[in-house]
Structures are given as C-alpha cells and as structure tokens.
C-alpha cells in the first residue's frame, strides 16, 4: 500500500473543507507574518509601508488569491500542469515554471530562518537563553554568535528540512491539518497577550506613531520611495503565499463544494490580522528597549527574547511556547512551499511522492547552505552589511518572481480564460463582485504591478515621467 493512502498517481483530495481552509491558512501564516513583516516594516519606515501593504492585500492580493484557488480547483493539476491543461501552447505556463523555481529559492532561505527558531526552542530548554538574557552583552551577542558559527545554523536548517520533508512524504493532510487546528488559535492568543504586555513596557506611543502615522511624502513623492512600494507589494505576495502556484496546488486538491470567495477572504483576513498583531507585539518592545526598527532580519530574534527576559521565569515558558509556535507556523508554510515543487516533479516524471519529496527536499536543503552561512557580521545588536546571500534570495523571489508570477496569473484568469467560465468556476457567478474581480484581474492588478516594476527599476524616471 502506498503511504499516501492512495494509488500512485491518483490525485489526492483534502479530507474536508475545514482541512483545506486550515492548510491554506497554515500556508499563509508563517515566518512572513512575524519575522519578515516586522523586519521589512521596520526597514521601510513603518506606517506608510503598512498602509501600502494593506492596499496591496485588498486590491491585488485577494483577487489573485481567488484566481489561484479557481485555476487550481478547475484544472486539478500542479502549478505548471494547470496552465498546460487550461491554456495549452500559450505562454502563461511561464508562471508555473517561475513558481516551481520560486519554491526552491524561498524554501532554501525559509528553512534557514525556521532553523533559527528551533535553535531558540532548545536554548530556552537548556537555559542557554536565560544566560544570554542575563549576560551583559545580551541577546544580540548570543544571536550574532549563533548565526556566524559555520556549522550550527546548518544543523538546525537540516533538522527543520527533515521535518518538512517527512510531512510532505506522508501526504499533506494527515498530520498537518489537525495540528494547525490547535496551533493557530494558540499562537493567536499568545500574540495578543504579548502585544498587550509589550505595549505596557513604555514604548507604545512611539510604536503607534511608527506604525499608524504614515509619512505622507511617500504618496506625494512616489518616485523617491519606490523601494517602499516594491517592499509592500512583495510582502503582500509573500505573506499570502501568492504568485507561485502554492494556492493553485492546494486548490487542486479541493472538491467542488467549497465556496472560494469566502475561503479567500478568510485566509487573507487571518493572515493580515496576524501581521498587524505581530507589529503591535514587536514595535513597542523595539522602542522600549531602544533597538533600531531597521535592524534587519535579526529583529525578532533579538527583540522577542528581550521582552520574554523581562518577564522572569514566566518569560522562559512564554519564550519557549512562542518559538515553538513560530516554528510550527513555519512548518505548515514550508510544507506548502515544498509541495509546489513535489507536486510538479511527481507528475512530470511519474515519480512516487516519497522519492520526490526526499530528492527535492534534499536539493533545497543544499541550496540553503549559502544562506545559512552568509548572514554577515553582527556587531552587538546591529546587523551590518549590504544585501547578503539570504537577503538576495529573498529579494529576487519575493519582490520579483512572486509579483511577476501574480501578474501572469491575473492576466490568465482575466484575459486568457473565458470570462463566463472563470466567473462560474470562482463561485462568484455573474454578480457585481464577480465582475469587479475580473476587472481587477484584467486592469488593476497588471497595471499596478507593472508600474511598480517600472518605477523601482528606474525606467519611469529615465523616460522622464514624474508621478
Ligand atoms: N506565506 C508564508 C509566510 O508568510 C510563506 C509561504 C508559504 C509562501 N508558501 C508560500 C510564500 C508560497 C510565497 C509563496 O511565512
């Protein structure tokens, strides 16, 4: 018998609608909401970034999320196969290939960061973290020492990848659906409590100003702030798991009886709520402890243990629970990333799920080693250095491949597909919302993504446009 409980090559399906929702939410909620959101928001100046990010989620993210679900459920194939099935011989399939490539790139560094969370869990258990918090050099030095060690981060990355591979190996639905059901609410409650505590530390008013009073010059002077636009767009795609066919793949395991618009809205709302709560948890502490919000990828790994440390013994328990939950959230996201590549290679070469997950997961682990090794120099709290390997991987995948993939997906669902069929398959039908959705896919999303690309590559300026 096959381990997946299915015949080889017969497509799997979610056990239930709830299972699908949880898996899609599990994919969306991950390191992107806490680690990536807070450091990108911090580097991009806070409020204006947050506002742009929300605009991107609502007007571009949710419509493309709907498009991915609809394409996947209709085509019943992986990221590449779906386009080949629905639009044979047309160029849209490029989005699928870019998606598989992005899965390799993103998971390569995602596994590294997730590995750091495993290291933190163990450090809480062994008392190493307690010692670091109490020490004079603080958590910044502890973190810096850890990531600049040549072998340790690779070990934790390896461990995380082994766990991810095992889950994909077994077929997604068995463990992960059930675990998510318990872990997600627990994580939410913990984030809310910690946000409240963090706000009591004395940095709340500065944090509110940072997060909620946008610097309007970003809107009056967009050409000088192109990176913030690109960062907001990239973060929206990353956080919603969009633009590389992860949700096409998940949608393909779906039966007809799920209402897609409700599912898309549910996933996007939950994901965004998590990001904002994480901001409310991290930035008050950032200001209370006098840390620079633009500190970079190490932000949560230094700030959070400092908050927990100020809680005494309770803090050890909370820190342990917290990094455990982040690791679990990262796991359900990593599974969805690996699944994109595995689903493609399984079908393409007619390999078993078992063989494919080990092979592809192994390659991705190897690809991640430079990211594991490369995270530059640390000087106490400050993360020094230009864009290093991990940053570059993240930038290429999140700010270029994902929005470009999303652009093609929007063009396909808006133009490449028969409108009546798209409306019917999406469960919107010929309603106002359905037509608004098609309008966004046809015009709004492609134009906005295109203009942001032109802007950030400096082409508009060269052509003499002043927006
Ligand atoms: N959304 C996840 C997070 O926020 C990361 C992720 C999982 C992802 N699957 C994806 C990002 C697919 C882009 C595409 O952590």
258 phi, psi to nearest 5 deg: -90, 135
pLDDT of residue 108: 96
Average pLDDT, integer, range 345-352: 96
* pLDDT score for 272: 97
Residue 195: pLDDT over 60: yes
Q: What is the pLDDT of residue 266?
A: 94
Average pLDDT over residues 328-342: 94
pLDDT recorded at residue 64: 98
Whether 355 shows a pLDDT value over 80: the answer reads: yes
For residue 382, pLDDT over 60 is answered with no
Cα 129 to Cα 117: distance, rounded to the nearest angstrom: 12
Closest atom, ligand 1, to C-alpha of 239: 4
- Enter the pTM of the model: 0.91
Using CA positions, which residue lies closest to atom 8 of ligand 1?
241
> Worst-scoring range by mean pLDDT, 59-63, 398-402, 412-416?
398-402
- The yes-or-no verdict on residue 178 having pLDDT over 80 is no
Q: From 24, 29, 30, 400, give the residue whose CB has the most ligand 1 atoms within 8 Å, as the site to mutate.
A: 30
Residue 373 pLDDT class (50, 70, 90 cuts): confident
Report the share of the chain in percent with pLDDT over 70.
91
The answer for 76, left when phi > 0, alpha when psi is -120 to 50, beta otherwise, is left
Domain assignments of the chain as residue spans, ordered by start: 3-462
Report the pLDDT averaged over residues 196-220.
Answer: 91
Rounded percentage of the chain residues whose pLDDT exceeds 90? 62
Average pLDDT, the chain: 88
Of the candidate ranges 256-260, 418-422, 460-464, the one whose mean pLDDT is the lowest = 460-464
SS3 291: coil
Each residue's pLDDT tens digit, 92-133 = 999 999 999 999 999 999 999 999 999 999 999 999 999 999
Q: What is the Å distance from ligand 1's center to 33 Cα? A: 9
Q: Which two tokens stand for residue 2?
A: 């096959």
28 CB less than 6 Å from ligand 1?
yes
65 lines ligand 1 (CB under 6 A): no
What whole-number distance in Å separates Cα of residue 230 and Cα of residue 49? 10
Q: What average pLDDT does range 136-161 have in this prediction?
A: 92
- Nearest-atom number in ligand 1 for the CA of 247 is 12
Nearby residues of 121 by Cβ (< 8 Å), 6 or more positions away = 320, 323, 324, 327
**Atom 12 of ligand 1 has which residue's CA nearest to it?**
241
pLDDT of residue 248: 97
Q: Is the pLDDT of residue 378 over 60?
A: no
* Cα 437 to ligand 1 centroid, rounded to whole Å: 23
Contact (CB, 8 A) for 109 and 371: yes
How high is the pLDDT of residue 381? 36
Write 200-206 long-range contacts (CB < 8 A, 24+): 201/284, 201/285, 201/288, 201/289, 201/307, 201/310, 202/284, 202/287, 202/288, 203/283, 203/284, 203/285, 203/286, 203/287, 203/288, 203/289, 204/284, 206/283, 206/284, 206/287
pLDDT at 6 over 50: no
- Which token pair is 390? 């991990």
Please name which of 148, 202, 154, 157 lies closest in space to residue 380, comparing C-alpha atoms: 148
Q: What is the pLDDT of residue 379?
A: 36
Beta carbons within 8 Å of 434's beta carbon, 6+ residues apart: 423, 426, 428
One CATH from 1.10.12, 1.20.120, 1.20.1740, 3.30.930 for 3-462: 1.20.1740
**pLDDT for 459:** 62
Query: What pLDDT, on the 0 to 100 scale, is given for residue 78?
Result: 96
Tens-digit pLDDT profile for residues 272-293: 999 999 999 999 989 988 888 9
Measured from the CB, is residue 405 less than 6 Å from ligand 1?
no
Cβ 270 under 6 angstroms from ligand 1: no
Q: Is 161 in the pocket of ligand 1 (CB under 6 A)?
A: no
Q: Ligand 1 in contact with 372 (CB < 6 A)?
A: no
Of 154-158, 289-293, 453-457, 461-465, minimum mean pLDDT range = 461-465
337 pocket-lining for ligand 1 (C-beta < 6 Å): yes
Q: Of the given ranges (11-20, 138-147, 307-316, 395-404), which has the lowest mean pLDDT?
A: 11-20
Which pLDDT belongs to residue 453?
Answer: 83
C-alpha span between 95 and 271 (Å, rounded): 24
Lowest mean pLDDT among 68-82, 175-189, 403-417: 175-189
Summarised one tens digit per residue, pLDDT across range 31-79 is 999 999 999 999 999 999 999 999 999 999 999 999 999 999 999 999 9
The residue that leads in pLDDT, 215 or 3, is 215
> How far is Cα of residue 333 from the mean position of the Cα atoms in its chain?
7
176-194 mean pLDDT: 79
Q: Ligand 1, atom 13: nearest CA belongs to which residue?
A: 241
CA of 461 to the centre of ligand 1 (A): 32
Is the Cβ–Cβ distance between 339 and 173 less than 8 Å? no
* CA–CA dist 284, 199 (Å, integer): 5
Split at pLDDT 50, 70, 90, the class of 173 is low
∠ CA 96-234-278, rounded to 5°: 125
* Residues whose CB is less than 8 angstroms from the CB of residue 147 and which lie 6 or more positions away in sequence, other chains included: 116, 153, 298, 375, 378
Task: Collapse the DSSP code of 379 into the 3-class scheme (helix H, G, I; strand E, B; otherwise coil) and give the result.
Answer: strand
pLDDT at 296: 80
């Amino acid at each position: 018998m096959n381990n997946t409980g299915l015949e080889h090559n017969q497509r799997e399906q979610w056990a239930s609608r709830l299972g699908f929702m949880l898996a899609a939410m599990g994919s969306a909620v991950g390191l992107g909401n806490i680690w990536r959101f807070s450091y990108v928001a911090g580097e991009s100046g806070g409020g204006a970034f947050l506002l742009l990010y929300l605009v991107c989620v609502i007007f571009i993210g949710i419509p493309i999320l709907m498009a991915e679900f609809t394409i996947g459920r209709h085509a019943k194939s992986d990221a590449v196969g779906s386009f080949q099935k629905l639009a044979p011989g047309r160029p849209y399939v490029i989005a699928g290939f870019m998606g598989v490539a992005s899965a390799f790139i993103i998971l390569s560094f995602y596994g590294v960061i997730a590995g750091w969370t495993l290291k933190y869990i163990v450090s809480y258990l062994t008392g190493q973290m307690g010692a670091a918090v109490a020490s004079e050099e603080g958590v910044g030095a502890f973190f810096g020492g850890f990531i600049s060690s040549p072998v340790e981060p690779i070990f934790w990355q390896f461990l995380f990848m082994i766990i991810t591979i095992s889950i994909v190996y077994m077929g997604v639905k068995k463990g992960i659906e059930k675990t998510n059901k318990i872990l997600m609410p627990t994580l939410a409650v913990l984030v809310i409590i910690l946000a409240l505590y963090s706000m009591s530390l004395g940095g709340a008013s500065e944090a509110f100003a940072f997060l909620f009073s946008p610097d309007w010059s970003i809107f009056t002077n967009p050409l000088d702030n192109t990176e913030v636009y690109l960062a907001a767009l990239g973060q929206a795609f990353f956080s919603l798991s969009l633009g590389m066919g992860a949700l096409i793949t998940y949608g393909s395991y779906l039966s007809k009886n799920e209402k897609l618009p409700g599912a898309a809205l549910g996933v996007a709302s939950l994901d965004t709520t998590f990001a904002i709560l994480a901001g409310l948890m991290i930035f008050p502490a950032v200001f209370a402890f006098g840390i620079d919000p633009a500190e970079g990828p190490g932000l949560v790994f230094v700030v959070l243990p400092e908050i927990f440390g100020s809680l005494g013994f309770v803090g050890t328990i909370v820190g342990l629970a917290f990094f455990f939950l982040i690791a679990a959230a990262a796991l359900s996201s990593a599974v969805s990333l690996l699944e994109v590549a595995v689903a493609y290679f399984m079908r393409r070469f007619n390999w078993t799920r078992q063989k494919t997950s080990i092979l592809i997961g192994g390659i991705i682990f190897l690809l991640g080693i430079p990211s594991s090794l490369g995270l530059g120099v640390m000087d106490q709290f400050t993360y020094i250095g230009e864009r290093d390997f991990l940053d570059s991987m993240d930038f290429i995948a999140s700010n270029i491949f994902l929005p470009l993939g999303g652009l093609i997906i929007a063009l396909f669902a808006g133009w490449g597909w028969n409108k009546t069929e798209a409306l019917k398959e999406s469960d919107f039908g010929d309603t106002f919302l359905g037509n608004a959705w098609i309008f966004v896919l046809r015009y709004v999303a492609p134009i906005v993504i295109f203009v942001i690309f032109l802007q950030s590559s400096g082409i508009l300026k060269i052509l003499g446009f002043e927006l």
